[in-house]
Amino acid sequence: MTTRLLKNIRLLITMDGQEIPNAAVVHRDHVIEFVGPQAQLPPVEVDETLDLSHHVVMPGMINTHHHMFQNLTRVMAQQNELFGWLTTLYPIWTGITGEMIYVSAKLAMAELILSGCTTSSDHLYLYPNGALIDDEIRAAYELGFRFHPTRGSMSVGESNGGLPPDRIVEKEPHILKDTQRAIEQFHDPKRYSMLRMGIAPAAPFNVSLDLMRESAALARSYPNVRLHTHLAENVNDIDYSLEHYQMRPGQFAESLGWIGDDVWHAHCVQLDDQEIDLFARTGTGVAHCPCSNMRLASGIAPIRQMLAKNVRVGLGVDGSASNDGGHLLNEARQAVLLQRVKDCDPAAMTARQGLEIATIGGAAVLGRDDLGKIAPGMAADLIAYRLDQLAFAGAQHDPLAALIFCQSVNVDLSIIHGKIVIQAGQFVGLDLPMLIERHTQLSRRLLSGI
């Protein structure tokens, strides 16, 4: 076991109600043991000491919605809304292979880690050419990244009124069988788990009602397996739900058992007041994806109203073909600014609230009581940003606010599960240029089929 001391921390943001100047943190292996002012640090034998006198330290951020494979096809369909964007990209994605899933996931995770993310979900809903969810799980294991993969699916193709081409949908018995296999092979429900599985039929417009119900039943037959899908992303989503089910999306989800503290929905841009009340009452979570919602002109989610009613809200970068980036700190920045624009109110969301939904909010959405805070007994997932850099010049008097309002920067240090993954701004044990080059080759191969 390794005991590490982080000392002389310029400012420690615990997300547990404290902002501590000149602070110290001690973690033994993957669990935090001491948090407090440097002057109160008791005598302790440590294996390693890091001096962070130029840094602001906070819990690792948590990404609650992503489609990692999509970074193979960035900046496509630039003037399309959601449905047109999907129908443009579906045919391209039919060429994806297992290697592409693996490499794109590793690149997406590296991008997230550099931004300050230490835990992420992913929604992988297509499996052409022999691809498996195992391919992205391998990437997480190799990077030492805390991961919540969700076995997604599409089962209703164009010939049956769905959006995706028939050649990339799967038969529902196979979906359920492979989902069960992945849970039994990879899922770890225990505290400090590095991998927990979820089940995620892609959306109401590309799966059947039976698959939604059977997925919910399967998830609830295992401990800590959660449910995830897209909901109420834009006005076309609302129209589709009313036309096909004669219900708004929230009512539709409730009718299928897709409401509760083991469920989180992505986007929820167009939820109305009654649906927000439903989510608040049932503990249903929301993954807020501000940049993607702006890119596809889906609207601005009513996050201020959700938070006021204690809805569980986390942040998501969404797929890197509708966001075109995976910088989670920037997502927090945009979340704060968008709520101010939406309500024409500079007090609509504070910098602290932005960091809260990126940390403790994401932990709540993913059902983690061991993440999102720096406190004794919590997982040793910590990040540090240097304050003595250009982006923060003139903002030294309020480092917390600087993280949100100033230009989004990359971490100088990232510790995940007690292991240093980024040190002095560089990956430990990962050849990032080589990864980028291989990713570029695979992206070109995929796009050459257009």
Which is more confidently placed, 6 or 1? 6
Please check whether residues 55 and 65 belong to one and the same domain: no
Q: Does pLDDT of 450 surpass 70?
A: no
Work out how many domains the chain is built from and give that number.
2
What's the pLDDT tens digit per position in 103-120?
A: 999 999 999 999 999 999
Which is more confidently placed, 83 or 6? 6
What's the pLDDT tens digit per position in 394-410?
A: 999 999 999 999 999 99
Please check whether residues 187 and 324 belong to one and the same domain: yes
Under DSSP, is residue 317 helix (H, G, I), strand (E, B) or coil? coil
What's the pLDDT tens digit per position in 118-169?
A: 999 999 999 999 999 999 999 999 999 999 999 999 999 999 988 899 999 9
Percent share of the chain, pLDDT over 70? 100
DSSP code string of 211-222: HHHHHHHHHTTS
Domain that holds residue 9: 3-59+373-427
Q: Given this model, what pLDDT does residue 431 score? A: 98
Q: Is residue 117, in this structure, part of any structural domain at all?
A: yes
- Confidence at 205, pLDDT banded by 50, 70, 90: confident
Dist. CA 286–CA 312, nearest whole Å: 6
Please check whether residues 320 and 415 belong to one and the same domain: no
Side-chain-side CA neighbours of residue 288 (13 Å): 32
Please check whether residues 164 and 190 belong to one and the same domain: yes
Q: Given this model, what pLDDT does residue 334 score? A: 98
The CATH number of the domain holding residue 387 is: 2.30.40.10
Q: Does pLDDT of 343 surpass 90?
A: yes
- What is the average per-residue pLDDT within 198-214? 94
Q: Given this model, what pLDDT does residue 1 score? A: 77
Residues whose CB falls within 8 Å of the CB of residue 370, separated by 6 or more in sequence, listed in order? 191, 192, 363, 377, 378, 379
- What is the average per-residue pLDDT within 197-212? 94
- What is the average per-residue pLDDT within 54-75? 98
Under DSSP, is residue 50 helix (H, G, I), strand (E, B) or coil? strand
CA geometry: angle 190, 193, 194, nearest 5 deg: 160
Q: Is residue 324, in this structure, part of any structural domain at all?
A: yes
Specify the amino acid at residue 130. Answer: G
Q: Does pLDDT of 20 surpass 80?
A: yes
- Confidence at 197, pLDDT banded by 50, 70, 90: very high
- What is the average per-residue pLDDT within 279-291? 98
- Is the distance from CB of 60 to CB of 118 less than 8 angstroms? yes
- Confidence at 299, pLDDT banded by 50, 70, 90: very high
Specify the amino acid at residue 94. Answer: T
